[in-house]
Amino acid sequence: MKKTILITGGAGFIGSHVVRLFVTKYPDYQIINLDALTYAGNLENLNDVADAQNYKFVKGDITDEKFIPHLFSTYQFDGVVHLAAESHVDRSITDPFAFIRTNVFGTCNLLNAAKEAWKGNMEGKRFYHVSTDEVYGALDFDGTFFTETTKYDPHSPYSASKASSDHFVRAYHDTYGLPVVISNCSNNYGANHFPEKLIPLSINNIKNNRPIPIYGKGENVRDWLWVNDHVRAIDTIFHNGKNGETYNIGGNNEWSNIDLIRALCDIMDRKLQREQGESAKLITFVKDRAGHDLRYAIDSTKLQRELGWKPSLQFEEGLEKTVDWYLANQTWMDNIINGDYQKYYEKQYLER
Ligand code: NAD
Ligand code: TYD
């Protein structure tokens, strides 16, 4: 069936994998990728699909109150997969207002445009909001998990802004009948991850013999999921999820930061033909993150039972694949470090 789908934040880490899957798996869909190309947006992530017939990139900001309704009336979207966000906790500590603007106001601006565009005919429409497990706060080392009914208890400006956006998505469903779905996913890893985040930053530092900064004692636990498994879940939920529902997505794969980095150092020693233990010497404990959540762990039983999704990769295999991707794509990393990736828009869209 022909559909026109808006994907926001499609030049980012997860968004670029979502765009690729939708463009290649659904040739009948017209995919519009709306992205403001902030520091985190990189069109180089999408080189392989940039010229596809059913794909179009639009540079624009989700907070723009004139442009977003105009975009909805131009394209008559059947669905929205909303990923655009400020996504880095450390940046949210230094600049919380950027997170309020994009994650809260930007999401409301999209919700409102969808409500107005779909008024009187919501049949077959869908607004999918991609969110995070961080809205649930932090767990102790007590074997409990976040479920879809866990009370929201965000601690960082990032997680507070995502929690707020989730509330607005539900409010638009309950008040205006907007057909929404929400998913809350654990930490992703994989190709095209911006190198301010733990795994790509560490790979790059190990390769260049620079210190690997571990916050506090490295005891904080995250539940890591391969980005392609997250994207498969997004595809499943977008097409088969029930309106008004929330689905938790996770890898059932808990690692303390220090254990994860030690495992990564072992892989890097092998790949770079270093003596076993050499990369681990770069581990450096630094001042802890303010309000650092102790443990995240997702219970994804609902998604597995109701929609039949499950993670496909063991973490050790996924981490090895990820290291291989970064080592084979050094130019991608170099272009980010030297700032050239921000010229991609001009290269691809203004010079042709
Ligand atoms: P990212 O930072 O890599 O990418 C965000 C993208 O959004 C970038 O391309 C950026 O240019 C774009 N963007 C930012 N502000 C914008 C604006 N005002 N208008 C239009 N575009 C804008 O983020 P990511 O890691 O790919 O995360 C994508 C989504 O998934 C976010 O909503 C995030 O909260 C959620 N999420 C991420 C993770 C994770 O581990 N990375 C886990 C769960 C949920
Ligand atoms: P990050 O990749 O920023 O994801 P999030 O904060 O959304 O979980 O961080 C993952 C974990 O790694 C988190 O506990 C903070 C920690 N961390 C470090 O120890 N050192 C670093 O340099 C970074 C970026 C993160």
Centre a 10 Å sphere on the Cβ of residue 240 and count the other Cβ atoms it contains: 12
Catalytic residue check, 247? no
Q: From the CA of 213, how far away is ligand 2's center (Å)?
A: 10
Q: Residue 226 has what pLDDT?
A: 98
pLDDT at 350: 66
The pLDDT assigned to 1 comes to: 65
Percent of the chain surpassing pLDDT 90: 97
Instruction: Identify which ligand lies nearest to the alpha carbon of 59.
Output: 1
Q: Which of 29, 55, 128, 158 is catalytic?
A: 158
In the residue annotation, 133 being an active-site residue is answered as: yes
Q: Which residues line ligand 2 (CB under 6 A)?
A: 89, 187, 197-198, 201, 213-215, 220, 222, 257, 289
* Ligand that lies nearest to the alpha carbon of residue 64, given by its number in the listed order: 1
The one catalytic residue among 35, 61, 134, 293: 134
pLDDT of residue 149: 98
| DSSP code per residue over 6-23 | EEETTTSHHHHHHHHHHH
For residue 350, what is the DSSP state?
I
What pLDDT does 348 receive?
73
CA of 189 to the centre of ligand 1 (A): 13
Q: What is the value of pTM for the model shown?
A: 0.98
The full set of domain ranges for the chain reads 3-191+224-252+292-315
Cα(78)–Cα(126) distance, integer angstroms: 7
- What DSSP string describes 54-99? TEEEEE--TT-TTHHHHHHHHH--SEEEE------HHHHHH-HHHH
Residue to probe by mutation, ligand 1, list 14, 86, 222, 345, most atoms within 8 Å of CB? 14
Q: How far apart are CA 134 and CA 40, in angstroms?
A: 20
In this structure, whether the domain defined by 3-191+224-252+292-315 belongs to CATH 3.40.50.720 is answered with yes
Which residues, given as ranges, of the chain have pLDDT below 70? 1, 349-352
| Burial of 76: CB neighbours in 10 Å, binned 0-12, 13-18, 19+ | exposed
Q: Which ligand is nearest to the CA of 217?
A: 2
226 close to 188: Cβ distance less than 8 angstroms: yes
Instruction: Give the pLDDT confidence score for residue 351 in this predicted structure.
Output: 64
